[in-house]
C-alpha cells in the first residue's frame, strides 16, 4: 500500500479533495499544488514506481501474488482488496510502504484494508512497522555511502535524517512514530560510525493547517546548521522509500534553494524506488511476517 498520486494535473483537484476527506480545497490551494507538480515535471512518479516495486517483489517471492492499493488515488485500497477476492485470494499480508508506524498514517491504511477484507471473509494480517529491520538499515547504509562520494570530503558532512511531519497531537496518544524515526536514524548512524554530534532528525512536508506539527522543520535545521558554520549537509529521508512530491519538490527544490542562498553544499541520498537492495529488504520483511 502507498499514498497515491494524481495521474495528470487535471486530476489534482479530485486528488486533493480526497486527501481532505471530501472537502474541496480553495482554488488558490489547488493552483499552488499544481505548481509544485509542474516544477517536478507535471506528475509524480510514485504510482509507476510502486507498481515496479510490486512486480520486483513478486518475482523475488517466487510463488506469491503481489497487489498494489493506494490510499488517495486509483487503484484505491478497497478496490484492490475486491480484485483480490475476485481472484480467489483467501489469505493476505498487507504492508504499507512507510517504515514507521503511526495511528495517523499506517494504521489508517490498515483499517481501510481490514474493512474491505472483512467484506470478503479474507484473512488479512499486516506488517505494522519495519523501521529497524537489519536489511532496511543495511540498504540505507549503502545509499549514504554512495551519496558521500558527491562531497569533496566525508569528514565535514552533517547528516540530517528526515521523515514526514505529523500533527503534534499524536504525542498525546503516546504514538511511537517520533521514537521510531529517531531509532532508525540512530541505527544508521551507528552502522556508519557517524559521531553523535554530526547528525540530527528533522521533519518535512508539514500540512498547512491551524494545528502545530512535529518539528524541527528541515528548513529551520538548514538555517541552524548554516549559522553554526556547516558547509556540507546530506539529507537522508528515512521516512520515504520512493521518489514523489515530498522528495522531488520539498527537498530537491525547497531545501536546495535554501542551501544555495546560504552557500551550503547540500545533497540528498537517492530514493530506493525499485533498486534490488530495497526489494531484497522488502523480501526479508515479508518472508519473516508470513
Over its length of 290 residues, how does the chain's per-residue pLDDT go in tens digits?
999 999 999 999 999 999 999 999 999 999 999 999 999 999 999 999 999 999 999 999 999 999 999 999 999 999 999 999 999 999 999 999 999 999 999 999 999 999 999 999 999 999 999 999 999 999 999 999 999 999 999 889 999 999 999 999 999 999 999 999 999 999 999 999 999 999 999 999 999 889 999 999 999 999 999 999 999 999 999 999 999 999 999 999 999 999 999 999 999 999 999 999 999 999 999 999 99
Contact 5, 46 (CB under 8 A): yes
Residue 208's pLDDT is: 87
Residue 71's pLDDT is: 98
Q: Which residues contact 250 (CB under 8 A, 6 or more apart)?
A: 204, 205, 218
Closest CA to 185 of 202, 166, 167: 202
Contact 23, 117 (CB under 8 A): no
Gap between the Cα atoms of 15 and 120, Å rounded: 27
The reply to whether the predicted model has a pTM over 0.75 is yes
Residue 252's pLDDT is: 98
What are the extents of the domains in the chain? Answer: 134-268
- Terminal Cα-to-Cα distance of the chain (whole angstroms): 17
Number of residues that make up the chain: 290
Q: Which residues contact 179 (CB under 8 A, 6 or more apart)?
A: none
| Options 2.120.10.30, 3.50.50.60, 1.20.1260.10, 3.40.50.1400; CATH of 134-268 | 3.40.50.1400
Residue 261's pLDDT is: 98
Amino acid at each position: 500500500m502507498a499514498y497515491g498520486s494524481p495521474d495528470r494535473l487535471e486530476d489534482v483537484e479530485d486528488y486533493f479533495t480526497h486527501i481532505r476527506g471530501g472537502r474541496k480545497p480553495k482554488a488558490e490551494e489547488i493552483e499552488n499544488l499544481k505548481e509544485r507538480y509542474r516544477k517536478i515535471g507535471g506528475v509524480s512518479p510514485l504510482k509507476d514506481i510502486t507498481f515496479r516495486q510490486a512486480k520486483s517483489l513478486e518475482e523475488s517471492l517466487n510463488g506469491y501474488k503481489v497487489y498494489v492499493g493506494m490510499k488517495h488515488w486509483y487503484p484505491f485500497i478497497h478496490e484492490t482488496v475486491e480484485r483480490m477476492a475476485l481472484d480467489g485470494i483467501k489469505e493476505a499480508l498487507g504492508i504499507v510502504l512507510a517504515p514507521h508506524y503511526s495511528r495517523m498514517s499506517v494504521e489508517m491504511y490498515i483499517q481501510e484494508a481490514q474493512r474491505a477484507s472483512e467484506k470478503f471473509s479474507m484473512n488479512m494480517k499486516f506488517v505494522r512497522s519495519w523501521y529497524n529491520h537489519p536489511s532496511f538499515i543495511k540498504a540505507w547504509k549503502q545509499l549514504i555511502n554512495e551519496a558521500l562520494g558527491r562531497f569533496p570530503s566525508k569528514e565535514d558532512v552533517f547528516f540530517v535524517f528526515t521523515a514526514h511531519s505529523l500533527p503534534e497531537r499524536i504525542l498525546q496518544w503516546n504514538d511511537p512514530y517520533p521514537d521510531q524515526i529517531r531509532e532508525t536514524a540512530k541505527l544508521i548512524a551507528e552502522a556508519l560510525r557517524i559521531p553523535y554530534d554530526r547528525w540530527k532528525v528533522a521533519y518535512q512536508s508539514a500540512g498547512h493547517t491551524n494545528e502545530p506539527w512535529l518539528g524541527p522543520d528541515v528548513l529551520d535545521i538548514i538555517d541552524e546548521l548554516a549559522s553554526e558554520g556547516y558547509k556540507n549537509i546530506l539529507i537522508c529521508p528515512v521516512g520515504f522509500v520512493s521518489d514523489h512530491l515530498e522528495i522531488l519538490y520539498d527537498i530537491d527544490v525547497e531545501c536546495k534553494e535554501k542551501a544555495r542562498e546560504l552557500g551550503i553544499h547540500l545533497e540528498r541520498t537517492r530514493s530506493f524506488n525499485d533498486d534490488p537492495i530495497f526489494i531484497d529488504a522488502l523480501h526479508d520483511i515479508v518472508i519473516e511476517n508470513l
